[in-house]
Each structure stands twice: as structure tokens, then as C-alpha cells.
Amino acid sequence: MTMFPELNQKVVIVIGSSQGIGKAVVDTFLANHAIVVAADISYTTPQLQLVENQQYYQIKLDISQESEIAAVNQQLIENQLIPDVLVDVAGISTMDFLVQSQTKDFDRTFQVNTRGAYLALKYFTKTMIEHQKQGRVIVIASQAGKNGYRGMAAYVASKHAVLGLVKTLAIETAANQILVNAVCPGIIETEMKQRERVEGGSLRGMSAEAVQQEDISQVPLGRTGLPQDVANVVLFLASPLASYMTGQAINVTGGMTMH
């Protein structure tokens, strides 16, 4: 892993941080000696909790709840932990064909993936602006924000909307030197992907193993991705190497999506 001394003691908040891509992002920034605030719905305390040392905090956060985002934002201000980097990884998916799907599943997917991203960008970016932080905002979208996939209408639509938020905020914060970009992972080996293979396979009369082989066959590089593959690109976007990039949606798909 490339190390960036410029990230030493920078404050990084990672939302959706307990597993998969989010955990890899946390570990990557800690390895670069950043001060990391990890927020996730699975954590137990709504108060900032020091975990290992002076570099790593955890806090419970349901990104779909505006009151919780506001409360976490206020705690960051009170503890002088103004973000230099915001990384929103939080997301959920449901599996069903559109005409058979439940409206409540569609609403919940948008509540977390799209409304949650909107709230996180709104509160934490405003705080960065007010404290004159010339920082980075990075949202984990998906190649599903650029393509359509059977059985995933709500997820696909939510991630298309997330890219719209990213592009708009990038324009609005350019004068503040806050760079806003999205990362669009392809098929990444996470707990969520494993569940999707089971549920999606059931919809299509296939085993999870058969879906996995189908997944691999669609990737030109011949393998599915790992969470660290995505975390590496997040690190790049937070680094000085990406100082002339904003409003972008970068694919990390092994060549599966090329636009």
C-alpha cells in the first residue's frame, strides 16, 4: 500500500465502517496515521468512543435518520474533530424483479442509499465549509449507478441518484476547494454480495455458486474484487495525487464497466 504522509493526523469520518469495503477503508486510513471516526449502525454507543488509541473512534449512526447525523456532526465539532475527509460507504440492497417488488423495500433502499448520502453530504460538508477545511468527500456508489441489473431496480435507481448528488456537490463546493468524487465498485467479495448471490440465485433458479461463476465470467480481469481494491482508490482520492479531480465517478470493476 502506498503511504501518504500528508494524511498524518487528518480527520477522516467513514460511514458504514464495520465490515466489507468500509472496514478496509478504515484500516487503510489508520495505516496512513489518520485520525479515523468510524460510524456504523451496528456499533453500540451514540457517543464518540475511543477504541484503541488517540487515532481511532467509533460511534453508532443510522445514516437514514437526520437526527442521528446531526448529533454525530455536533459531537465532531465539540471534540474538535472537523473532517478533512468524509467517506460514505453505507448502503443496502434488496433482490426482486421490479414488477414483483415491494414498495417498502424500494423506499427503504432509497432512505439509506440516497437520502442517507444526501444527509451525510449536507451536514458534514457544511461543517467542513464553516471551518474552512479544504478537504475531500468520497461516496461509494456502484457500477449499478451506471448500468441496469436484473432483480436490483431499487439499488440501481438509488445509486444513479447518488451520482447526481456527487456531481452537484462537486460544482457547489469547488470554490471552497472541497473535492467531491464517487467510487463505483463492481463485483466485490463482501457479506452483502454473498447474500445477493443467494437471493438473486433463488429468483433465477440458480445456486449461489453458479451466480458466482457467472460473476467471474463477466470480469475481463478474470476475478472479482476485494474490499482493499476499493479502499486503495479511496485512499488515492484522499491523497494529493487527486488534487485536480472533482465530480468524477471512478470505476473499480476489473474492466466490467468502462464508462
Average pLDDT (111-117) is 98
Query: Residues with catalytic annotation?
Result: 155
Q: Residues 150-179: what's their mean pLDDT?
A: 98
Q: Is the predicted pLDDT of residue 53 greater than 80, yes or no?
A: no
* Contact indicator for 235, 21 with CB cutoff of 8 Å: no
Domain borders along the chain are: 7-188+227-252
pTM for the model stands at 0.96
CB under 8 Å to 168, separation ≥6 — which residues? none
Res 173: pLDDT: 98
pLDDT, tens digit (0-9, with 9 covering 90-100), for 180-229? 999 999 999 999 999 999 999 999 999 999 999 999 999 999 999 999 99
Residue 71 has what pLDDT?
98
The answer to whether residues 247 and 171 touch, using CB atoms and an 8 Å cutoff, is: yes
Query: Cβ distance 127 to 175 under 8 Å?
Result: no
Inform me whether the pLDDT recorded for 12 exceeds 80. Answer: yes
Q: Which CATH number is 7-188+227-252 given?
A: 3.40.50.720
| Phi, psi (deg, nearest 5) at residue 186 | -95, -130
Question: What does the alpha-carbon distance between residue 66 and residue 82 come to, in Å, rounded to a whole number?
Answer: 19
| pLDDT score of 202 | 95
Instruction: Cell numbers for 94, please give them.
Output: 434488496
Structure confidence at residue 52 (pLDDT): 76
Residue 40 to residue 145: CA distance in whole angstroms: 23
User: Quick one: three-class SS letters along 34-73?
Assistant: CEEEEEECCCCCCCCEECCCCCEEEEECCCCCHHHHHHHH
Average pLDDT over residues 227-254: 98
Instruction: Indicate the helix (H) or strand (E) that contains 137.
Output: strand 136-140
